[in-house]
Every structure is written in C-alpha cells, then in structure tokens.
C-alpha cells in the first residue's frame, strides 16, 4: 500500500493545529499552598495503618450481619462501645432511638411455566408478604423502569411486574441513582397499577447468582406488595425466556414481618479539641448492615476508616477543633440514626461533616462545600491529598445519608470519593464480606482521611458562616 497520500493528508490536517497561538494552550494552575510538614508525616505514616483493618475484621467476625433495629444491631453497639473505649476515644457513649423494624422470612421463587426452574432471589427491605403458601401469577415484562412508568393504570391487575434494567459499573457510582429507581420506588408504582407482586433485576454490576437486597419505599396509603430482587444471572435468564414469546408464570413465597418499634442507636466517641469555640467536626459511617453478608464494605469499612484516621490525631497533639466520631445506627432502612443524631445535637456548633460509606477501595477524588472565607482550607486539604493520587472535583460536595440532616442545615462538607468500579458487584449481597477488602487500599483511605482531618481540625479560618469567638 502506498502511504504517501495518507501521510500528506495527515500533515495537512495537523498543520492548522500546529500553528495555533500559545493562548490556546491550557494555562498553568496556580501554585499549591505550602503543606504543613506535620500533616505530611501523619499522612505518610497512615499508609501503613492496621487499625482500620482490625476494626472491620473484628466487627465482621465477632458481630457479623447487623440488621437495623434487631438484636444483632444491639450487639454491634455494645461491641462498638467497647472498641471505641479501647482505642482511647473520649466521651464514649451510646445514644438510642426508636425505629420501625422489618425482618425477612421465607423467600423462594420459581418459574412454573413454560420453563420450570428455581430462581435465586431475596426480598427487598419493606416488602409486603405473600400468604404462607405463596402466590402464582403471570409476569408482565418491562425492559426498564421508564417502561413501567408508561404502563396504563390498572394494566397490572393480578400480575407480577418484572423490571430488568441492567446497571453498569461507574467509578463515581452514578449509575446506582440512574438504575436504582426500579428498587427505590418500583414496587410502589407497580402496586398502584394493580400488580400483586414485583421482581426486579438486582441493582448491581455483577453477573452472578447472589441477589442484591436494599430498601424499597411505599407511599402512605399504598399497601406494600411482595417485592424481590432476582440475581442478575436469574434476571437475565428470565429475560431470555420472555424473548421466546410464551406467557411466563412465577410462584413466589415471601414472608417478611414488621416487628413494630424497636431500638436502634448511635455509638459516639471524641477527640477533644483545645478550643471549645472552634466548633465540632463530625465524621463516621453507619454501623448497621443488611443481613445477607457481614457488612464489610457497607459499611464496616466506613466506620473503620474514619475511626482509624481520628485516632491518629487522638494519639498526637490535641487538635484545635473537637473531632466527633459517630457510628450511626439505622441507615439502610430509613436513616433513623441520622435523624436521631440531628435531633439530639442540632443546637451544637457543627462546622464540618464528612462520611465514608462507599466501600474500601482507594480514594480518587475530593469535593468541597465550604464557605467562601474558608476556600483556602480546601486548597490546603487538596495539596495534602494530591500525593496520594487524588484529584479535585469540579462539583460541590454533598455528603451522605448519615450526615444529610446536618448538610441540609447548612454545615460545610467534604467528600472523599472512593472508586466504585467494583463496589456494586458486592453491595447488599452475600458477598459483602471481609475478603472484599484490600488492606493496601484501605490504608490509603486512612491516609487521606488523616490528612484531611489534620488540616481542617487545626485550620485558623472559620469553617462555618458564623465567625469563631
């Protein structure tokens, strides 16, 4: 092949770009602020941290699954109280609250016709129950949640709705919000359209037979229907059956129960600050978990990372601001832990919140929502994190479910975003176990949190709109 015409064409195409003025080039960023050497020392020492792994290993081994509002969550609180005291935190206590508690029962499913076979599924939190003998009904197939939304009212009467939208992995986890509607509100919508039950393709990025549970929500006045998540493999198989063009009948047995009002609670410990007028920084994750796995990545890792980082400041010179570590109770089934904390502490001066609840893989991005007068604090935090391979987000931080009431009240927030590429392979599944945690990536999290806390806990600037006294 004669390459000369192609080379000539390439040169002609490239020439206009080669002669662009220098102003078309990206400008150099402003110089990073000088980093306090002590922050760097703390950060780098944390890369060898083993406290976080010890916490999550102990929690998953000695307590295991910790369904909110159950006896298992109560054992987790007692375990957490003992652990925080052993780590040396001050003012350690449990603050209890009441919540409405749902627990699963029998859960089985099978294709009755035309291709009989068992299905791997699990009830969604808040699901209604079938009779003890189960129900048998024909499915109505919806490739996406949007297709279910377009179904006419009453069109699902006596049927089982099946939504098969397939979630894909993304680093920032944004696909969870996109595809999760099928779980979050799908059963409520199906019930309003007359369905007797609903099954969904699990909201996960894996391709296996472990189903993903998670909470679903019914509006006041809507009677909860039985609702289950099929494993992604079983859902894909059921979709292939649909393509055969024959009516498909399922038999489902789901017997969850509502226990009424039971106790949940938050475990709290502190790193006392030297300046009581400088405000409180709240960090943490949620202590409860779903019951299929042992809650290692969701959210044993989060409580471990934040506590391990705070302990590194606890073991050194006292910071200016108090750091309050909160292991929140119910998060998975409605957020009673967050609401209880806010009700008890809303009158206190919180100046910053940060939450870890996205597994244990490495932090790759930091986002800020700080008052304008504290913008330099964000610059210093980023300068401390950049050597860990962390980039700065162009979007504002939003916090997470456990700190949402404080964020809504106007408290500043920093997000340390972990990589979510594999998180939804295991999220809410039997595979959420200690084996999913990489100790090296876990330690990188601790280093990032340690650096962030070392900067913000000692920053001279006010972190909230109200000036420090």
pLDDT, tens digit, for every residue of 434-450?
999 999 999 999 999 99
DSSP secondary structure letters along 193-205: TT-SEEEEE-SSS
Mean confidence (pLDDT) of the chain:
94
Q: Which residues of 440-466 are buried (b: 16+ CB within 10 A; e: fewer)?
A: ebbbbbbbbbbbbbbbbbbbeebbbee
pLDDT of residue 5 exceeding 70, the answer is no
Torsion sign over Cα 26, 27, 30, 32: positive
pLDDT of residue 89 exceeding 60, the answer is yes
Domains in the chain: ranges and CATH: 37-101+260-456 (3.40.630.10), 105-255 (3.50.30.30)
Name the pLDDT band for 35 (thresholds 50, 70, 90).
Answer: confident
pLDDT of residue 310 exceeding 50, the answer is yes
- Token pair belonging to 233: 């493999």
Name the pLDDT band for 14 (thresholds 50, 70, 90).
Answer: very low
pLDDT of residue 466 exceeding 80, the answer is no
Q: What is the pLDDT of residues 167-216, one digit of tens each?
A: 999 999 999 999 999 999 999 999 999 999 999 999 999 999 999 999 99
Q: What is the pLDDT of residues 122-145, one digit of tens each?
A: 999 999 999 999 999 999 999 999
What DSSP character marks residue 456? H
pLDDT of residue 21 exceeding 60, the answer is no
CB-based contact 451:308 (threshold 8 Å): no
User: What pLDDT does residue 465 have?
Assistant: 77
Q: How many residues does the chain have?
A: 469
Question: Quick count: other Cβ atoms within 10 Å of Cβ 166?
Answer: 18
CA pair distance 384, 125, nearest whole angstrom: 40
User: What pLDDT does residue 111 have?
Assistant: 98
pLDDT of residue 1 exceeding 90, the answer is no
Q: What is the pLDDT of residues 220-267, one digit of tens each?
A: 999 999 999 999 999 999 999 999 999 999 999 999 999 999 999 999
Mean local confidence (pLDDT), 108-135: 98
CA pair distance 364, 374, nearest whole angstrom: 23
Q: What is the pLDDT of residues 383-437, one digit of tens each?
A: 999 999 999 999 999 999 999 999 999 999 999 999 999 999 999 999 999 999 9
Residue 64: exposed, middle, or buried by beta-carbon count in 10 A (0-12, 13-18, 19+)?
middle
- Token pair belonging to 230: 């099929």
User: What pLDDT does residue 29 have?
Assistant: 75
User: What pLDDT does residue 11 have?
Assistant: 35
User: What pLDDT does residue 4 have?
Assistant: 34
Mean local confidence (pLDDT), 338-366: 98
pLDDT of residue 19 exceeding 80, the answer is no
pLDDT of residue 321 exceeding 70, the answer is yes
Name the pLDDT band for 25 (thresholds 50, 70, 90).
Answer: low
Cis upstream peptide for 114 (omega within 30°): yes
Cis upstream peptide for 299 (omega within 30°): yes
pLDDT of residue 7 exceeding 70, the answer is no
The catalytic residue positions are 331
Please tell me the least confidently modeled range out of 35-39, 48-52, 72-76.
35-39
- Token pair belonging to 9: 């064409």
């Amino acid at each position: 092949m004669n390459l000369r015409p192609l080379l000539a064409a390439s040169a002609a195409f490239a020439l206009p770009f080669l002669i662009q003025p220098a102003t078309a080039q990206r400008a150099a960023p402003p110089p990073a602020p000088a980093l306090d050497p002590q922050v760097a020392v703390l950060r780098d020492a944390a890369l060898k941290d083993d406290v976080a792994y010890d916490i999550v290993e102990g929690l998953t081994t000695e307590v295991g699954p910790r369904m909110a509002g159950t006896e298992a969550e109560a054992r987790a609180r007692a375990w957490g109280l003992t652990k925080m005291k052993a780590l040396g935190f001050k003012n350690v206590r449990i603050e209890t609250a009441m919540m409405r508690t749902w627990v699963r029962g029998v859960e089985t499913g099978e294709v009755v016709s035309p291709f009989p076979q068992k299905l791997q599924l699990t009830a969604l939190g808040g699901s209604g129950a079938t009779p003890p003998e189960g129900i048998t009904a024909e499915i109505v197939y919806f490739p996406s949640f949007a297709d279910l939304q377009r179904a006419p009212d009453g069109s699902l009467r006596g049927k089982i709705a099946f939504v098969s939208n397939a979630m894909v992995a993304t680093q920032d986890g944004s696909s969870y919000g996109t595809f999760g509607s099928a779980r979050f509100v799908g059963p409520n919508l199906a019930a309003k359209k007359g369905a007797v039950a609903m099954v969904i393709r699990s909201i996960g990025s894996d391709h296996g037979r472990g189903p993903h549970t998670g909470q679903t929500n019914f509006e006041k006045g809507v009677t909860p229907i039985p609702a289950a998540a099929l494993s992604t493999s079983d859902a894909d198989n059921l979709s292939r059956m649909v393509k055969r063009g024959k009516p498909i009948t399922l038999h489902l047995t789901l017997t969850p129960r509502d226990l009424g009002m039971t106790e949940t609670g938050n475990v709290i410990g502190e790193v006392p600050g030297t300046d009581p007028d400088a405000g409180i920084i709240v960090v943490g994750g949620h202590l409860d978990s779903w019951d299929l796995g042992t809650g290692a990545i969701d959210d044993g890792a989060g409580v471990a990372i934040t506590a391990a980082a705070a302990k590194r400041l606890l073991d050194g010179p006292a910071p200016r601001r108090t750091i309050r570590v909160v292991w929140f109770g119910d998060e998975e089934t409605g957020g009673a832990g967050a609401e209880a904390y806010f009700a008890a502490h809303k009158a206190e001066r919180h100046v910053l919140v940060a939450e870890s609840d996205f597994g244990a893989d490495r932090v790759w991005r930091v986002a800020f929502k700080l008052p304008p007068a504290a913008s330099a604090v964000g610059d210093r935090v980023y300068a401390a994190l950049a050597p860990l391979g962390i980039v700065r987000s162009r979007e504002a931080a939003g916090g997470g479910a456990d700190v949402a009431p404080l964020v809504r009240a106007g408290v500043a927030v920093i997000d340390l975003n972990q990589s979510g590429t594999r998180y939804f392979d295991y999220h809410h599944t039997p595979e959420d176990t200690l084996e999913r945690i990489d100790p090296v990536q876990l330690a990188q999290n601790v280093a990032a949190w340690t650096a962030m806390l070392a900067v913000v806990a000692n920053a001279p600037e006010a972190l909230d709109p109200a000036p420090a006294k």
